[in-house]
A and B are shown apart, each in its own frame.
Chain A
């Protein structure tokens, strides 16, 4: 009772003593550091305040203020108080990125780091590494090497972790400490051993052979430290993933052997690694049984680990997980809600249709008690259920709608909206109910981004429904009640209805007319724009500008506009030259990978735009039309590896030869490419690669102008790599004195085909009409006999030649390929091909329509 009261009082009176700190006052106080003798207690307090402010981040220090504070702090080195000194180290570390001239404490820190006081040494090393730049590193190298092999584990660990941090800025230097780190791996201290392994493995990250050696050696003589062992398992798993052959067998054996280790951490890491490897369900059995044991453990963390890994595994091997159903059932009533959630969702994913209702009931009993993160897990599970059991959509949608009404953050709400959107798109029966739920949701949605997305969806799906007018009321409510961006989105959605449902057009006109009086510019602009287009009554115009609007890739569009302003601001900008946004690839989600490794999705054009920027005069070529996927011009395991990228522009092509020198004892200089171009092509300029060091990719760029006639643009290029070789020291990369010798290296030939120059896409639903509309455009057609025997194979080959995706093929016995695209320079083209098997061969009738007849002919020539 009394304890309770104390606690309450504490809460009342306590609060944060560092609240309401003011930056200027503290900087004033920091001047106190200059006084002597130093008062350690008072100075520690001031340092604490500075640290608090720095970490709070709402009152940012300017460079000058930080430098002032930093120099004042350095004065405290004259005090011998241990606690104060350690505070000084912390402060130096925090200020090191903000202040100038931080290197002035280098000598003070080296003194502490090599001194007798053990309490100073580890912290001094960490502070030292945070203040040194790469130029000063040489000076402290000797001390670092000593510290790494120091017998004090704290010092050794500090040095190793610092080395790990430094390896991002000065990898070469840290690589030289590998011998010392190697020695530290066998340390008795668990942490030192782990950190040392981290440094050694990090320094060999790019060198597969020595990583293999390292793992093999350490796997044979097992490490004592469980942390280090976990890291080793990860390294081994990485090796197995890179190499599927039998050579990886010893690593798999090693990992499986770790399943019997006495430390739970190691067991889990091994099980996790096995589950992650792409293997069959049978190989997983030992790992799964370990996870199953974890589920029954008395420790909550182990239960969570087991349930979580099993949950992730369901997507890949549902059958393997199904065996654990009993254990998971037990976890449903687990006091830890996170564990219970994972158990339920896993069971949902593996269970039969009959058990869905029961499990859903279980979830709803505790859904309000779990955190957003796990609610998202539940939502994802339900979303998968929708796909798996379409018949259950009624109850699932109702459940999702219920969750949508609950409190929750944007991410959670977005996940639910995603799930409903997916439901609407996949299941025609669920469309009406799903849309109704979404309509209800936007009535009371505080997240602008989400509201805009849902409005867009309503605009797309609403007009196709049975009673479109229902949705218009919801959408128009937004126009009256919401903020600017939402109103603008609502206007666009309303316009969609007008464009697709002629019977509603008069009403829509009235609504748009009202929107023209809006106070927000964007809303007015859109309303006027859409009214004007709808008023024309031109079906083609409406289709192109309201219903089927191409969406250019925003990043490239921005770049193209900037280039356009820089070079030819007076000419009109052609939107067609910007690549359209690619259809989102089948979302792999986290299901396939059990670990969440999400690469940032970037289109290939975005990745290379930066590299191309080095070419002088690149902006004169205009925006990049298309970058083709790279082609290898050498065998995989050769001295020099060369990949070719074709960056296609309206009138030119930039050939980027991405070269990698795999010989550590050679340095290549003045690398360029001698090109044999087909007739009519003209080489404009070559940007050689001045220096190609070992394992550092470099690129040679060749700008080639296309022939005037499109038809001449098909051809074969020959290429030879030419360079000057200089022998060098494999360790330092410093070339031997003296002249090098010239050498050349033949590359494989490559083609410039039709698919390289066209941005194609598969025909959509309304392809038939588009084709008809283009009837008066010039057409080229011909009949071919294809060499392939199998009609599927033939269809695939044709698609490849034309650059069309596989989705363009429809039909079974008679294959129909339909597609369209834009040729470089902006000419649209439509193509249709009919393939039929006829007496052992395949015949094809190919027709192409384009306003530019030569483009249509080129398409035919590409196949012929």
Chain B
């Protein structure tokens, strides 16, 4: 990992944090997920998360990339505010409650709106989808979620879906590692050659 270490030192010093948007319907687990991503010492005592009003801001590091994550409320009346963040987002994390079969269509609709927005369309912004709450009974498999969201039709962005459980933290590291890799590739294409 000598190369990677060097890379991360170089990245950490030379580049600022990457801005990543965390989106998804209300009660999909965005705030809990970010809570689990924080370094262990900064983690608040586990508690039942209250619905976010508006937005909050988290910092975490993974795979040598410093993330500045914007957790934006998913409540219907606040979804219109998402687009205010699109322009400066380097990556998007879309969280889906895989046990909420009924509202998958709503999530799909919101995702389509997001992808079609002028600030997003055509940009190579990595999209990471978490099929959250995969431990819940009746949870759909990640592939089923991907199909339900119509991810296969996305051509202008790299995307990845992985199952996760924000409460236990399972699956999060994998997903974020993919994201870190994507971002490194995008911003440092020569690092691999």
A106 with B57, Cβ < 8 A, contacts A36-B16, A36-B19, A101-B81 known: no
A36 with B57, Cβ < 8 A, contacts A104-B73, A104-B78 known: no
In angstroms, how far is the closest chain A Cβ from the Cβ of B122?
20
In angstroms, how far is the closest chain B Cβ from the Cβ of A146?
14
Whether B55 pairs with A108 at a CB distance below 8 angstroms is yes
A674: Cβ under 8 A from any B Cβ:
no
A104 with B53, Cβ < 8 A, contacts A34-B88, A71-B84 known: yes
B68: Cβ under 8 A from any A Cβ:
yes
Which residues on the B side are within 8 Å of A77 (C-beta)? 57
B56: Cβ under 8 A from any A Cβ:
yes
> How many angstroms from the CA of A75 to the CA of B87 in the assembled complex?
12
B54: Cβ under 8 A from any A Cβ:
yes
Within 342-391 of A, Cβ neighbours of B (below 8 Å) are at none
Within 821-837 of A, Cβ neighbours of B (below 8 Å) are at none
B182: Cβ under 8 A from any A Cβ:
no
Within 68-84 of A, Cβ neighbours of B (below 8 Å) are at 71, 74-75, 77-78
B3: Cβ under 8 A from any A Cβ:
no
Within 51-95 of A, Cβ neighbours of B (below 8 Å) are at 71, 74-75, 77-78
In angstroms, how far is the closest chain B Cβ from the Cβ of A79?
10
B102: Cβ under 8 A from any A Cβ:
no
> How many angstroms from the CA of A262 to the CA of B16 in the assembled complex?
59
We find that the number of chain A residues with CB closer than 8 angstroms to chain B is: 19
> How many angstroms from the CA of A37 to the CA of B66 in the assembled complex?
12
In angstroms, how far is the closest chain A Cβ from the Cβ of B108?
24
Which residues on the B side are within 8 Å of A101 (C-beta)? 81
Within 95-124 of A, Cβ neighbours of B (below 8 Å) are at 101, 103-108, 110-111
Whether B55 pairs with A107 at a CB distance below 8 angstroms is yes
B147: Cβ under 8 A from any A Cβ:
no
> How many angstroms from the CA of A77 to the CA of B55 in the assembled complex?
10
Whether B52 pairs with A107 at a CB distance below 8 angstroms is yes
Among A36, A105, A110, A111, the most chain B Cβ lie within 10 Å of the Cβ of: A36
Contact partner of B73 (CB less than 8 A), chosen from A37, A74, A78, A107, is A107
Contact partner of B53 (CB less than 8 A), chosen from A37, A71, A78, A139, is A139
Whether A104 pairs with B17 at a CB distance below 8 angstroms is no
Contact partner of B54 (CB less than 8 A), chosen from A34, A37, A103, is A103
> How many angstroms from the CA of A77 to the CA of B70 in the assembled complex?
10
B191: Cβ under 8 A from any A Cβ:
no
Whether B56 pairs with A103 at a CB distance below 8 angstroms is no
In angstroms, how far is the closest chain B Cβ from the Cβ of A528?
63
Which residues on the B side are within 8 Å of A257 (C-beta)? none
> How many angstroms from the CA of A101 to the CA of B50 in the assembled complex?
20
We find that the number of chain B residues with CB closer than 8 angstroms to chain A is: 20
Whether A36 pairs with B17 at a CB distance below 8 angstroms is yes
Chain B residue, CB-CB nearest to A132: B53
> How many angstroms from the CA of A34 to the CA of B16 in the assembled complex?
13
Whether B57 pairs with A78 at a CB distance below 8 angstroms is yes
Chain A residue, CB-CB nearest to B81: A104
Which residues on the A side are within 8 Å of B55 (C-beta)? 74, 104-105, 107-108
**Per-position 1/0 for A31-42, Cβ under 8 A of B:** 000101100000
**Per-position 1/0 for A133-152, Cβ under 8 A of B:** 00010010000000000000
**Per-position 1/0 for B57-87, Cβ under 8 A of A:** 1010000000010010100001001001001
Chain B residue, CB-CB nearest to A76: B57
Contact partner of B17 (CB less than 8 A), chosen from A37, A105, A107, A139, is A37
> How many angstroms from the CA of A34 to the CA of B68 in the assembled complex?
13
In angstroms, how far is the closest chain A Cβ from the Cβ of B21?
12
Which residues on the B side are within 8 Å of A107 (C-beta)? 52-56, 71, 73
Whether A136 pairs with B53 at a CB distance below 8 angstroms is yes
**Per-position 1/0 for A613-656, Cβ under 8 A of B:** 00000000000000000000000000000000000000000000
In angstroms, how far is the closest chain B Cβ from the Cβ of A66?
14
Which residues on the A side are within 8 Å of B19 (C-beta)? 36
**Per-position 1/0 for B27-69, Cβ under 8 A of A:** 0000000000000000000000011111111010000000010
Whether B57 pairs with A108 at a CB distance below 8 angstroms is yes
> How many angstroms from the CA of A207 to the CA of B27 in the assembled complex?
42
Chain A residue, CB-CB nearest to B19: A36
In angstroms, how far is the closest chain A Cβ from the Cβ of B79?
11
Which residues on the B side are within 8 Å of A110 (C-beta)? 53
Whether A108 pairs with B56 at a CB distance below 8 angstroms is yes
In angstroms, how far is the closest chain A Cβ from the Cβ of B187?
14
**Per-position 1/0 for B76-104, Cβ under 8 A of A:** 00100100100110000000000000000
> How many angstroms from the CA of A342 to the CA of B8 in the assembled complex?
76
Chain B residue, CB-CB nearest to A109: B54
Whether B16 pairs with A106 at a CB distance below 8 angstroms is no
Whether B84 pairs with A106 at a CB distance below 8 angstroms is no
Whether B53 pairs with A111 at a CB distance below 8 angstroms is no
Which residues on the B side are within 8 Å of A105 (C-beta)? 54-55
Contact partner of B68 (CB less than 8 A), chosen from A36, A74, A108, A111, is A36
Which residues on the A side are within 8 Å of B73 (C-beta)? 104, 107
> How many angstroms from the CA of A107 to the CA of B31 in the assembled complex?
11
Chain A residue, CB-CB nearest to B87: A34
> How many angstroms from the CA of A594 to the CA of B81 in the assembled complex?
54
Which residues on the A side are within 8 Å of B84 (C-beta)? 71
Among B51, B53, B71, the most chain A Cβ lie within 10 Å of the Cβ of: B53
In angstroms, how far is the closest chain A Cβ from the Cβ of B26?
13
Which residues on the A side are within 8 Å of B53 (C-beta)? 103-104, 106-107, 110, 136, 139
> How many angstroms from the CA of A36 to the CA of B78 in the assembled complex?
24
In angstroms, how far is the closest chain A Cβ from the Cβ of B83?
11
> How many angstroms from the CA of A464 to the CA of B50 in the assembled complex?
81
In angstroms, how far is the closest chain B Cβ from the Cβ of A202?
27
Chain B residue, CB-CB nearest to A77: B57
> How many angstroms from the CA of A782 to the CA of B57 in the assembled complex?
90
In angstroms, how far is the closest chain A Cβ from the Cβ of B183?
14
Whether A108 pairs with B54 at a CB distance below 8 angstroms is yes
> How many angstroms from the CA of A36 to the CA of B88 in the assembled complex?
9
> How many angstroms from the CA of A37 to the CA of B78 in the assembled complex?
26
Which residues on the A side are within 8 Å of B50 (C-beta)? 139
> How many angstroms from the CA of A139 to the CA of B59 in the assembled complex?
25
> How many angstroms from the CA of A95 to the CA of B18 in the assembled complex?
28
A37 with B16, Cβ < 8 A, contacts A78-B57, A105-B55, A136-B53 known: yes
Which residues on the A side are within 8 Å of B57 (C-beta)? 77-78, 108
In angstroms, how far is the closest chain B Cβ from the Cβ of A834?
77
Whether B16 pairs with A104 at a CB distance below 8 angstroms is no
Which residues on the B side are within 8 Å of A139 (C-beta)? 50-51, 53
In angstroms, how far is the closest chain B Cβ from the Cβ of A138?
11
Which residues on the B side are within 8 Å of A75 (C-beta)? 88
Chain B residue, CB-CB nearest to A140: B53
In angstroms, how far is the closest chain B Cβ from the Cβ of A360?
66
Which residues on the A side are within 8 Å of B16 (C-beta)? 36-37
> How many angstroms from the CA of A531 to the CA of B54 in the assembled complex?
71
Which residues on the B side are within 8 Å of A106 (C-beta)? 53-54
Given contacts A107-B54, A107-B55, 19 further A-B contacts (CB under 8 A): A34-B88, A36-B68, A36-B88, A37-B17, A75-B88, A77-B57, A101-B81, A104-B55, A104-B78, A104-B81, A105-B54, A107-B53, A107-B73, A108-B54, A108-B56, A108-B57, A111-B56, A136-B53, A139-B53
A interface residue numbers (CB < 8 A to B): 34, 36-37, 71, 74-75, 77-78, 101, 103-108, 110-111, 136, 139
Offer 8 A-B interface pairs, CB within 8 angstroms, sorted by A. A34-B87, A37-B16, A77-B57, A78-B68, A104-B73, A104-B78, A104-B81, A107-B56
Give me the 3 closest cross-chain CB pairs, A-B, nearest first.
Answer: A104-B54, A106-B53, A37-B16
